[in-house]
Structure 1
Amino acid sequence: MPVPSLSGTLRPLLWRLLTGAALGLVLFGGESWLLLGSGLVGVDIPVDGPYAALAAAVRPVVPALLLRVAAVYAVAGALLALAALVLARAWGPGRREPVEGGGRGARAWSLGRRVLTELGEGLVLLGLLVWGHAISRPALFDDLPAVRPLLAWLVEHGQPWHPRAAAAAWLLLHGVLFVTRSGIPRRRLAVGAAVAGVGALAFTGAGRLAAREASHPLVVVIGIDAFRPDRLKSQGGTGEVAPHVERFLVDATLFTRAYTSIAQTEPAWRSLLTARWPHTTGVRYALTADSRMRLQPTFAQSFAQAGWRTVFATDCSRFHFEGPASGFATRLQPPRGAVNFLLEKLRYRALGVFADHALGAAWVPEFIDNRALAGIHDPMGYAERLASRLVDESGQGPTLFAFHATAAHFPGDPVYPFYRRFVPATEPLERRLRMHFAPVTPGVKGGWSREGAEALYDELLAQADAQVGEVLDALKRSGRYDDALIVLMSDHGESFHADRPDLAGATSVHGARLSDEEYRVLLAVKPPKGQGRGPSEVDALVRLVDVGPTLLDLSGLPALPESDGATLAPLLRGGTRAPLPLYAETGFTHVLPEVFDAGHWPGAPRSFDAYRIRPDGVVEMGDEAHAAILAEKDRGAFDGRRWWRERPRADGSVQHTCEGDCEGPDAQALEAWLDAVQGLTPEGGWRKVAGHVDDPRNTKPPGALRPPQQLLRLRAGQPDGPANPQPRGG
């Protein structure tokens, strides 16, 4: 019996791999053609007007990016071809075809049958993968009209175990056929399977044992974007939205009246890191230019200077990117700027099927670890990888690890099983699977309701909660949970316009109004074991700027040299501290301020022209828009009993209002405190107004009416004079 040569064995295998890779590239080419046909900005399409800079910024990086994507398709096609080759062997005589004595026709028939069998096997495997992903992350396919009826059925009735069971049955059938034809003793097969199982269990146990050996100090800061504390059971919620957060609160102290100074992610995190108010940091809206940032020490820098490992991670960076000024030595986040906005358009669906694992995340992290790519990003797989990274980092030395979970932010696509939690099954598919933009325009109602929008928001919070649960469970499995200092917080709340029936169904917003819905946040602290367990709840007014001083205090590190925040350690130990007010200001949203406040100064443009794109692709706010944003901001102070607010008016005046207990010296003291925080004095010529502007008894002294440009300069500490279109330092 002749022994086949090595080349004779490898040649068919190599041919299959090359064929599979070629078919994968054909699929990549087909998806690329569809993307180009949809009018994708910046990819070999002439672009004029304001998008020219965007196109110019992304073109240099697109070729290398697409080559890496193409490589994923090629490798996936080759692996599918290899798997199909192995499975196809169960159906026929195998390598010794064609049969002896057969002519050319017999050989052609044998070859054709083999090719069709392998092709069928590959299509079945691909179909099983697509089936599973359509259930787990249906947003991957929800904008394909041809599959919407089938997708709707899967969303309603499909279960992840369905494709897994089908795959198991398919493989079992092939295993039976293979064993029957191979003649290998069944006892040998059983022994081999048992040895493999014991080896896998031993490997897993060894990994967990090694993780428990670490005992370095660990500080974990977890932020859940847009989490409103009224979703907690103790704060009036059902308790069904965030079960992992609820379990964490059993071990932590919850601050029931915690507030952010600005309800937008990038400026809120900058204030959190520096313990300074937004007008001090210079970061007062998303996409702030680097040149306008006023560098301040951060608590992350303090940890790094003390020899700690410092890591920041987030799955979305379009409107929140942490650079070196954050103080984190390691920053795990999607790319910054124009390329990230381009990626949202590069919906390579097969990439979400083939690369949603650790290897794919390492090769194309811009896609797999980027929440902006609906359906392609796997939030739970991301959380598992992040939890593993946290455990690994904490085992190498003292570690500060911060994670910002952004599931509840636009475009918000809930994955299985969260899209079945709260939105009724009777709602159309597009409302169940992804946030859609609806203008915040009075009287213009869409087909969505406020209740429906909040239900989708709750599903996304539940998804973020599951990610947080993965991180906390990893700490528990590794033995690091008890001795870790853990802070769980949100950067801002969310408004669904409950007080405005005429805005029913409009897109939610945060940072538009100084209100509890948008500015009250989640804040809970679990000290390390042995440092004492404080009260389960504290209702004193606290601010996000207090988080950094608290972490440094509890970790035994020096305080920041300048700080608007103060440590919460006395409250955590059951004591008290002197009441400290909150400074707050509105951000810059897609909503014109006069929508919520008739007569408000209209402020900045809400178009692409408000931004500029640097040669390196970074998108940042332009100078004119910057000046207008500062002029349109509402400012306020809150002391736990009253809100004092200032609103710029279209006629150039400033409206002063007080909400709450506004009688007596405390209200006047809060007004004076707001003046002092902003560096304003009565000599500024506009600040002191008797009573409230909307009070008919009020009289406006000379100078109370100023055009917005003059108000801007006064608030920036500049002398009153001719308008300056580029105020310094923001």
Structure 2
Amino acid sequence: MPESPPSGILRSWWPRLLVGAVLGVLLFAAESWLLLRSGVVGMDIPVDGPYAALMAAVRPVLPGLLLRIAAVYAVAGMVLAVAGTLLARAWGRGGAWATLGQGLLLFMLLAWDRAIARPALFDDLPALRSLLAWLVDHGEPWHPRAVLAAWLVAHAAVWVARTRQWRRAGWAGAALAGVAGLLVVGKGMAGRGAPAHPLVVVIGIDAFRPDRLKSQGGSGEVAPHVERLLEEATLFTRAYTPIAQTEPAWRSLLTARWPHETGVRYSLTSDSRMQLQRTFAESFSQAGWRTVFATDCSRFHAEGPASGFETRLQPPRGAVNFLLEKLRYRALGMFADHALGAAWLPEFIDNRALAGIHDPMGYAERLASRLVDEASQGPTLFAFHATAAHFPGDPVHPFYRRFVPASEPLERRLRMHFAPVSPGAKGGWNRAGAEALYDELIAQADAQVGTLLDALRRSGRYDDALILLLSDHGESFHADRADLAGATPVHGARLSEEENRILLAVKPPKGRGTAPALVDSLVRLVDVGPTLLELSGLPSLSDVDGVSLAPLLRGEDLGPLSLYAETGFTHVLPEVFDPGHWPGAPRSFDAYRIRPDGVVEMGPAAHARILQEKDVGAFDGQRWWVDRPQADGTVLRACQGDCEGLDALALEAWFDRVQGRTAAGGWRKVAGHVDDSGHPEPSGTLRAPKQLLRMRPGQRPGPAHPQPRGG
């Protein structure tokens, strides 16, 4: 039979491509209708007051975003139409119904695969609940792939037998095997032979508690890739963050300064309140290094130009990002979860905040490739912050089977759910369940870290890289409060070991060598920048609070350090942990404002009250001094730990100096108002100077000043 001319082929394929595109767009229209019906994308949402600014910021970008989503559906429909046509013709049947049937089967196989890999993509569809539960318990990724492979082999065999194209089939099989082999070899050799430019890699794992490490009392099963790195690194076993919330913690990390000096005191701090100070990333950049920061979530932590990183890879910041959560276009998680999809719709595919749509392991592979590529082009500082342990907290395969018992309800196995942090909170986890889900999410972040480290090993850059591993804060499961066992875990609400103790480890180039495996001295997150600069031979930051830990890495003595710390701003009312605490910061959308560019930030009235509500403290490894503002306008200072002797007095004096308090007990005045470096004093709320009530263990305040709990 003579082959059809190209024009004839085009005439025969265009109708099928058009039908596939139309079917894809119809699927997009159906999902859009369901979204509109459920009251998102501006429907059934108040558009007055602060919401008006939100909708005004979102509306200009929404049409273009929806058009790009619709394009994915149209292309996916065309791809299925082509695949369905080829499979149908293998049997000698090129009719529309045969093509449609084949395309529908491929669609179902793809949905089957994604339901096993990322079940949160379908967990809010009641009709699929029973099937999804079975897949979560029993499904394996190879199941749909084996069915697909068998289906394709059967079609290929039928086509060869029907057309007798034995030689052509043999050549096609050999070509496919050759391409697969080249891909495997190329992946293994990627980057090898490239010049070994200096490389510094900073990896942050959000909310990682060091007690998950085997050497710190953990099982050793949660973070195997971190454990492997620690075999060649020095672990600081008593490292602490000055504030247990990501955005202010990273600002202190970058500038080597305490939060009250950076101006970033909570998440979504207004840019105008940030003190523009030199960062260690800026020092690397000015020394001619390539500087890259990447994160898979930017809702409550986004780095801008003030970070010092020249390249910043992160989802869009602000109102649009909060809208994206409502745009549950599931087919994006089926068709676009790959490099092309990430290039076309990065705000969806590379955004961890979108449960089920975001593929964390695919994201890590793309990021690992970027890391190797950047490192091959010159001296590079590459920082990555992994946020798997935050909301929506959706573990993917195989992590959702690791630690949470199969007897738990499906919705609690597949995603975090909010339960108020209040006495007797209902509807949440028991504490064991909450920690088990946390461990699964930490294991998922650990696997992402492993992907980056393995890429460095394959490229030959691991051994000579300086790698620093950290967490920005810990996580509290309210272990000291039985009445909060069902509440959502929290960080930033109290000053404590659970929330402020962090992971910190350093692998120098060529490995640990003679450096100690464990360092038990108290160190702080603000010490990271000075350490990296010294180890890289770059000038140190001036007039900062952090110090270089290089002497400890050499086995030398550094001298005792102290930590200044403060609470952040969370959904938790402080009096839940501290009866009598001042509770005046607003916890509603009214606290925020939307800038014309869509950025969400804290408003000025809320800012003042948040600072007024903060606990602040000092810690030297043996004792805490903590100041807690009380509802009656006083500040209750309490000491916990070994509070007798000169060391306790020395820490208290240092605490006062850091806060800017005068020896007379007042607060430093700047331009007629209380400086933000201490507790601010909004007009008409507290007296100035504040009365300070000082307590040690065993002492009791008067009736108006009850003993605080926690901290």
| TM above 0.5 | yes
Residue of structure 1 equivalent to 2:395: 414
C-alpha distance in 1, partners of 2:502/2:87? 54
Within the candidate set 175, 187, 191, 1:211 is matched to 191
* In the alignment, structure 1 residue 153 sits paired with structure 2 residue 134: yes
Aligned-partner Cα distance in 1 for 2:616–2:550: 29
Q: Distance in 2 between matches of 1:668 and 1:318?
A: 41
User: In structure 2, what is the Cα distance between the partners aligned to 1:239 and 1:711?
Assistant: 55
Q: 1:368 aligns with which of 349, 361, 364?
A: 349
Q: Is the 8 A contact 2:232 2:512 kept in 1?
A: no
Q: Note the C-alpha offset of 1:682.
A: 2.3
Q: What is the aligned partner in structure 1 of residue 377 from structure 2?
A: 396
Cα offset, 1:182, TM superposition: 1.6
Q: 1 CA distance for matches of 2:615 and 2:672?
A: 12
Which residue number corresponds to residue 469 of structure 1?
450
- In the other structure, the counterpart of 2:674 is 713
Tell me what 2:333 maps to. 352
Which residue number corresponds to residue 163 of structure 1?
144
After the TM superposition, which of the residue ranges 116-125 and 676-685 deviates more from structure 2?
Answer: 676-685
Residue of structure 1 in register with 2:300 after alignment: 319
- Cα pair distance change 1:210/1:376, threshold 3 Å: closer
Task: Give the conservation status (yes or no) of the 8 Å contact 2:661–2:667.
Answer: no
2:544 counterpart (545, 556, 563): 563
Structure 1 residue 89 corresponds to structure 2 residue 106: no
Q: Distance in 2 between matches of 1:502 and 1:620?
A: 33
Instruction: Render the CA deviation track for 1:269-324: whole Å, top value 9, x for unaligned.
Output: 00000000000000000000000000110000000000000000000000000000
Shift of residue 560 of structure 1? 0.7
1:670 equivalent in structure 2: 651
In structure 2, the residue matched to 1:103 is none
Aligned to 2:633: 652
- Pair 1:137–1:721, CA change in 2 (3 A): closer
Q: Per-residue deviation at 1:77? A: 0.5
Counterpart for residue 64 of structure 2: 64
| Correspondence 1:42 to 2:42 | yes
Question: Secondary structure, in 3 states, of the residue corresponding to 2:441?
Answer: helix
How far apart in 1 are the matches of 2:172 and 2:84? 23
- The structure 2 residue matched to 1:302, chosen from 272, 283, 297, is 283
**Contact 2:234-2:506 within 8 A present in 1 as well:** yes
Amino acid in structure 2 at the alignment position of 1:677: V
Between the two proteins, what is the percent identity of the paired residues? Answer: 75
* Cross-structure match for 2:21: 21
Cα distance between partner residues in 2 of 1:715 and 1:41? 39
CA contact (8 A) 1:222 1:488 kept: yes
Q: Could you tell me which residue of structure 1 aligns to residue 10 of structure 2?
A: 10
Deviation at 1:42, TM superposition (A): 2.6
Q: Which deviations, in whole Å up to 9, do the C-alpha atoms of 1:29-51 show, x marking residues without a partner?
A: 00000001100043696623432
The answer to whether the aligner puts 1:553 opposite 2:514 as a matched pair is: no
Deviation of 1:206 after TM superposition, in Å, equals 4.6
- How far apart are 1:196 and its partner, in Å? 3.8
Letter in structure 1 aligned against 2:52: A
Q: Are the counterparts in 2 of residues 309 and 400 from structure 1 also a CA contact under 8 Å?
A: yes
Per-residue CA deviation, residues 1-55 of structure 1 (Å, 9 max, x unaligned), is: 7764432221121111111011000000000000011000436966234322111
Equivalent of 2:257 in 263, 276, 291: 276
Aligned equivalents of 1:639, 1:718: Cα separation in 2 = 22
Q: Distance in 2 between matches of 1:413 and 1:369?
A: 15
Letter in 1 for 2:11: R
Cα distance in 1 for residues equivalent to 2:228 and 2:587? 41
Distance 1:586 1:532, change over 3 A: same
1:617 maps to what in 2? 598
Which residue of the other structure, out of 233, 236, 244, is the alignment partner of 1:263?
Answer: 244
Partner AA of 2:39 in structure 1: G
Quick one: which amino acid aligns to residue 607 of structure 2? H
- The one-letter code matched in structure 2 to 1:87 is L
**Residue 109 (structure 1) aligns with:** none
Q: Distance in 2 between matches of 1:548 and 1:321?
A: 19
Work out whether residues 635 and 646 of structure 1, in 8 Å CA contact, stay in contact via their aligned partners in 2. Answer: yes
CA displacement 1:654-709 (0-9 Å, x = unmatched): 1111111110011111011011111111235379xxxxxxxxxxxxxxxxxxxxxx
Query: Do the aligned partners of residues 716 and 131 (structure 1) sit closer, same or farther apart at CA in structure 2, a change above 3 Å counting?
Result: same
Match status 1:339 vs 2:323? no
Write out aligned runs for 1:213-252 (5 A): 213-214=193-194, 215-252=196-233
Amino acid at match of 2:23: L
- Secondary structure of 1:657's counterpart equals strand
> How is 1:422-437 mapped onto 2 (pairs within 5 angstroms)?
422-437=403-418
Match 2:178 to one of 198, 202, 206: 198
> How far apart are the structure 2 equivalents of 1:450 and 1:2?
72
Contact 1:42 1:58 in 2 (8 A): no
Q: Check conservation: 1:263, 1:510, Cα contact below 8 A.
A: yes
Aligned residue-pair number: 685
Distance apart, 1:218 and its partner CA: 0.3
Q: Residue deviations 1:387-422, cap 9 Å, x none?
A: 000000000000000000000011100000000011
Partners of 2:333 and 2:358 within 8 A in 1: yes
Distance 1:288 1:220 in 2: 27
Matches within 5 A, 1:435-454: 435-454=416-435
Q: Indicate the residue corresponding to 1:637 in structure 2.
A: 618
Q: Counterpart in 1 of 2:699?
A: none
Equivalent residue for 1:505? 486
- Distance in structure 1 (CA, Å) of the matches to 2:683 and 2:184: 70
- 2:521 pairs with 1:540: yes
Q: What SS does structure 1 have at the residue aligned with 2:204?
A: strand
1:638/1:439 Cα in 2 relative to 1: closer, same or farther (>3 Å)?
A: same
Larger-gyration structure (1/2): 1
Is residue 353 of structure 2 the alignment partner of residue 381 of structure 1? no
Offset of 1:183 from its aligned partner?
1.2
Which 5+ residue runs of structure 2 have no aligned equivalent?
A: 689-711
- The whole-number CA distance in structure 2 between the counterparts of 1:716 and 1:164 is 59
CA contact (8 A) 2:205 2:471 kept: yes
How far apart, in 2, do the equivalents of 1:193 and 1:498 lie?
59
Contact 2:612 2:680 survives alignment (8 Å): no
CA distance in 2, matches of 1:674, 1:357: 51
Which of 183, 186, 189 matches 2:169? 189
Query: Do 1:41 and 1:47's aligned partners in 2 also have CA atoms closer than 8 Å?
Result: no
Call closer, same or farther: CA 1:41–1:64 in 2, change over 3 Å: closer
Relative to 1, partners in 2 of residues 1:636 and 1:163: Cα closer, same or farther, differing over 3 Å?
same
CA displacement at 1:437 relative to structure 2: 0.5
Q: Where do 1:116-127 residues align within 5 Å? A: 116-127=97-108
Task: Show CA shifts across 1:164-217 (max 9, x none).
Answer: 01101111110111111121124x533442244234434543564450122000
Structure 1: give runs of 5+ residues left out of the alignment.
95-113, 688-709
Q: Which amino acid aligns with 2:586?
A: P
Alpha-carbon offset, residue 342 of structure 1? 0.2
Cα 1:300–1:209 shift into 2, 3 Å:
same
Residue 25 of structure 1 aligns to a residue whose secondary structure is helix
Q: Kindly state the Cα deviation for residue 603 of structure 1 after the two structures are TM-superposed.
A: 2.5
Q: How far off its partner does 1:712 sit?
A: 8.5
1:220 match: secondary structure:
strand
Matched with 1:692 is: none
Q: Distance in 2 between matches of 1:660 and 1:720?
A: 30
Q: CA RMSD in A?
A: 2.1
8 A Cα contact 1:631 1:712, kept in partner:
no
What is the distance in 1 between the residues matched to 2:410 and 2:472?
Answer: 30
Partners in 2 of 1:310 and 1:618 — Cα distance? Answer: 24
Residue by residue, what CA displacement relative to the aligned partner does 1:429-485 show, whole Å, maximum 9, x if unpaired?
Answer: 000000000001112332520110110000000000000000111100110000000
Instruction: Output the CA distance in 1 between the equivalents of 2:682 and 2:450.
Output: 55
* Corresponding residue for residue 175 of structure 1: 156
